[in-house]
Structure 1
């Protein structure tokens, strides 16, 4: 991987440990709602992952509204679990708990700081604008380093849509092949980045993308530092 002049980072499950925050928020919600608390926590987690994925796919396809996504996942969760609870109340409580548990991935900040001393950086993230902006506000050290902030809802399209990557490329001010994207999602980040002509550092324990020299797979942040020689 050569010729990198700009580095974009994904936010959730790349810099921030979204899965852990989600897990802990569901634990909190399980203790707050009596009917939900009667269901084994493991079943709550597995069912939530299933319905949440379905709802977000519908939102990405334009068949579900923002509010329908926010509360709809809990309507479907309660229906699947066969319990009664107020989905709007659950959504509010969940989001409050979720925000309480935002943390950076171990090792991410140190390497991020080293990267920003050598390269201009930005963030490219899916998600609702108010939530993603709140995360950035929680970690002003990150935000101060970004020269470009691209949030899907603010642009009207989600990764891996080519238009979102076109917007991000323009804001970076360099050519597509000169951008490295650090992200965790094969579909949204790796495929989206490659289709845009970017290079990609894939944060994962999964398989490599066979025969694709523009993808660097890593699970330890020090390996990314080695790639970028920082």
Structure 2
């Protein structure tokens, strides 16, 4: 029986891609660039590549941001500063536009509050920097809803590592098999949770409405149907 539910943050509860799209649009428009799907997709591809390099410990968090600028800006005819400080200052402009668009997906707070009222313990497990992820939770009003909040940089384990999910279930006080993990990434969330012994639910906010997400969680929480056994035949009376 499921007694606790863990959630990913970006793309699951927090609309990262929506905020990033608006941030990219404002950031590049201010620099005279016509923002097309090609521009947005190039930004997301670079973000995914270098965030993964950070997750694997190959570069630090600030460097993965600089690498995005090095990937994308020259192809748009924008000059790159020659030093890290200059790159950091430019990325700060993007961050300001990104932060201005931060929001949860519609219905998120109602969903979480409803699960708490039903008696489930709730946890958050997110990959990212402690400073930025904590700031997100504060700004979007989710700091008080979780029994356990774990950020990969703080715990020293990143999803999909088993240690990240072990820390989650330990904090929630349940064995892995009694915890459902909800996330949007097939590898870091769904496969990682299953490999650590948790139940998992993969959601896609690009196509699922808030009601679809709630219904999917309800289905995942429902106990399996009881097996039906044919009654044993009566013994004949001797």
Could you say which TM-score interval applies, normalised by the shorter chain?
Answer: 0.7 to 0.9
Structure 1 segments (4+ residues) deviating >4 Å: none
Q: Give structure 1 stretches of 5+ with no counterpart.
A: 207-217
Q: How does 1:147-158 map to 2 (within 5 A)?
A: 147-158=147-158
| Post-superposition offset of 1:156 | 2.1
Q: With the length of structure 1 as denominator, give the TM-score of the two structures.
A: 0.85
Maintained 8 Å contact 1:8/1:182? yes
How many residue pairs end up in the alignment? 212
Whether the aligned pair in 2 keeps the contact of 1:55 and 1:72 (CA below 8 Å) is: yes
Give the drift of 1:90: 2.4
| 1:73 equivalent in alignment to 2:68 | yes
Partner of 1:98: 98
Q: Which of 19, 23, 39 is the aligned partner of 1:44?
A: 39
Please state whether the residue corresponding to 2:73 is helix, strand or coil.
Answer: helix
Which residue number corresponds to residue 236 of structure 2?
Answer: none
C-alpha separation between the residues in 1 aligned to 2:53 and 2:217?
A: 37
* Partner residue in 1 for 2:197: 197
Shift of residue 72 of structure 1? Answer: 1.8
State the partner residue of 1:184: 184
Structure having the higher Rg: 2
Q: Displacement, 1:102?
A: 1.1
1:6 corresponds to 2:38 = no
Looking at structure 1, the residues matched to 53 and 168 of structure 2 have their Cα atoms a distance apart, in angstroms, of 24
CA distance in 1, matches of 2:25, 2:104: 19
| Aligned position for 2:19 | 21
Q: Report the equivalent of 2:213.
A: 221
Partner of residue 231, structure 2 = none
Looking at structure 1, the residues matched to 161 and 38 of structure 2 have their Cα atoms a distance apart, in angstroms, of 33
User: Which region of structure 1 is more displaced relative to structure 2, 102-111 or 173-182?
Assistant: 102-111
Query: Structure 1 residue 112 and structure 2 residue 112: aligned?
Result: yes
- Give the Cα–Cα distance (whole angstroms) in 2 for the partners of residues 73 and 219 of structure 1: 35
| Alpha-carbon RMSD | 2.0
Tell me the CA shift for residue 175 of structure 1: 0.4
After alignment, is 176-185 or 150-159 more displaced?
150-159
Counterpart contact for 1:204–1:219, Cα < 8 Å: no
Task: Provide the rounded CA distance (Å) in 2 between the counterparts of 1:219 and 1:144.
Answer: 23
Residue matched to 2:128: 127
2-side partners of 1:23 and 1:219: how far apart?
24
1:205 shift after superposition: 7.1
Secondary structure of the residue aligned to 1:83 is coil
Q: Structure 1 CA distance, aligned partners of 2:69 and 2:98?
A: 14
Query: Would you tell me which structure has more helix in proportion to its own residues?
Result: 1
TM-score (norm 2): 0.82
Instruction: Decide whether the 8 Å contact of 1:25 with 1:98 is kept in 2.
Output: yes
